[in-house]
Amino acid sequence: MTKHKLKTIVPTPEEDAAIERGIAQDPDTFDPKVGFEHLKPVKLKLRGRPVGSGQKTQLTVRLDNDIISLFRETGSGWQTRINEALKDWLKHHRPSELG
């Protein structure tokens, strides 16, 4: 056997072959590739927050409590609905009209 700096003992090719033969002869040896051919790969679901579109900018904006309450009462997606309401407002107004 060859010795390495970290005292790791590596078997010689002959010793490795003898070990492999012993494994092959052992009736309790488990080959994970045998018996599972019928199984299909499972697509794992990604965890965490979904990836965004990259077309939005995160910012802090201060809105009246009553506006936030009304939108939150509509359930999940209330922030998206605020965004849609602003888009709709911009169809009929210009930000410069505010004054």
Gyration radius from the chain CA atoms:
32
Domains of the chain, residue spans: 55-99
CA distance 80 to 87: 11
Q: Residue 5 — very low, low, confident or very high, per pLDDT cuts 50/70/90?
A: low
Per-residue pLDDT band at 67 (split at 50, 70, 90): very high
pTM of the entire structure?
0.46
pLDDT at 42: 84
Quick one: pLDDT band at residue 37, thresholds 50, 70, 90?
confident
Token readout for 47 is 């965890």
Q: State mean pLDDT over 46-59.
A: 82
